[in-house]
Amino acid sequence: MSIGGSNSFPSVQECEISTCFGASDECAQYGILNAFLKFDITLKAFATASVETIRELPSRKEVRVHFKHPNTRFCLDISTRDGMPFRCCTLYENGVIRLQWSLMNGVRSGHFFFYADGILQYEGFWENPAILLENSKRGVVMIQLSLLSQHIIYRGGFHPTSYKRDGWGCEYREETGEPKRCVWYKNGELKWVEKEFDVGTMIEYLDKKRVVYIGEYKNDYASHYPRHGFGVQVNPENGMEMWNGEWRDGRMWEANQCDNKEWFAFTEENELNYGFHFTEAQSVYGLQGLQSRQSLQHITTLVFDDGCGCDQRFKTLDLCFYPFLKKVSFGSRCFPFVSSYLCCGMAHLKSVRIGQSCFFHGFESMPFARSGHGCVLRDCPVLVSLVIGVHSFATYHHCLLESAPVLCQ
């Protein structure tokens, strides 16, 4: 006789004299759950201990049947009503809830709930044992299991009704269970591969193809597999190495300057700083791309050579994208077509140096350029040095310096 197997559930009277309840050993669908949960979900050899009447009405009687297992850590309560096909089952281990499920006409049906230390850990489906919903610190995520290897093959976001992959998640190798790639899905359709893993190495992408990092990582789903250990930061614009060094939990700990004129690293006040050096030959849209990437916004120094930013399409230079910026330096004749230069809310900015004839398109353009052109430096509490060369901003309508208490002393 079985609890939730193919046999019908006994009546209350039969429960009182029954000595063995457990799912059929032939229920292969439970094998994957037993292996993943490390728990014998087939629940064999429970013996009736007592029957308690919960409620008795003229038309029906509601009872709770209490079972004990030869292994005295476990006990099982089944609540039922006379004449009703539905039964609620609760398994306890040392008095703490471990598993809860339902029976319909003596067969396990619908959902089950698996607990660890009394806290809900997984919600599953008897009809589809390859899918579990995990109650994690980041919220509820879906786990998909391989019926063959019994390893996790996906953990991540899901659609709440169709259970298709949706949002961020991680795919795993079926044969080993090791991370394969971090991905973004939309209603079951793969949209973007964020990270790929191969023999202890992670490749991180800015978009579909451009690499930004190659190196070691921390094997931790909860923190989204951050950079950890030795790695190389790659310039996604040209594929060149920018720096290499040691990462800890996603943050660079130590860095070595690469033989590359664009990026550089230096130590100042016992802190490691990173800078970017723009040359005249570089497209100003390289700066726009730089502004849009979260992974590069921790740089502290920007240097622009003479003649940078002469593309007429570039109209605004907003340094607010770099919250950790400490120094910015412009050569001569930079950004002649920029009509709006913004430097606001820069808590770490200490020095701004602007060469001659920057943000200036010639005096012949003054009547046109004055309308709406402006320079704003605001809320820079530690700014101590501001140098502006001759003719720079000469055609601007206004230049505002506000809330820079150290500079104004």
Burial of 267 (0-12, 13-18, 19+ CB in 10 A): exposed
Q: What is the per-residue pLDDT for 11?
A: 41
The Cα–Cα gap between 280 and 271 comes to 29
Whole-angstrom Cα distance, residue 315 to residue 299? 23
Share of the chain above pLDDT 70, in %: 76
* pLDDT tens digits along 213-241: 999 999 999 999 999 998 888 888 766 77
- Pick the most confident of 52-61, 103-112, 173-182, 299-308: 173-182
- How many Cβ atoms from other residues are within 10 Å of residue 191's Cβ? 11
Model pTM? Answer: 0.56
Look at residues 103, 66, 109, 107 and name the one whose alpha carbon lies nearest to residue 86: 103
- In the prediction, which pLDDT does 5 show? 35
Look up residue 309 and give its two tokens: 């930013």
Residue 276 in this model has a pLDDT that exceeds 80:
no
Assign 240 to helix, strand or coil: coil
Q: Where are the domains of the chain?
A: 1-117, 261-409
Nearest partner of 163 among 178, 177, 136, 144, judged by Cα? 144
CB-based contact 107:6 (threshold 8 Å)? yes
Residue at token pair 């953990």: 155
DSSP state of 247: E
Q: How many Cβ atoms from other residues are within 10 Å of residue 395's Cβ? A: 21
- pLDDT confidence band for 284 (50 / 70 / 90): very low
Cα 171 to Cα 16: distance, rounded to the nearest angstrom: 48
Mapped to the 3 state alphabet, what secondary structure does 54-104 carry?
EEECCCCEEEEEEEECCCCCEEEEEEEECCCCEEEEEEEECCEEEEEEEEE
> What confidence tier does 20 reach under pLDDT thresholds 50, 70, 90?
very low
pLDDT tens, position by position, 338-397: 989 989 889 999 999 999 999 988 776 554 445 567 899 999 999 999 999 999 998 888
pLDDT at 357: 93
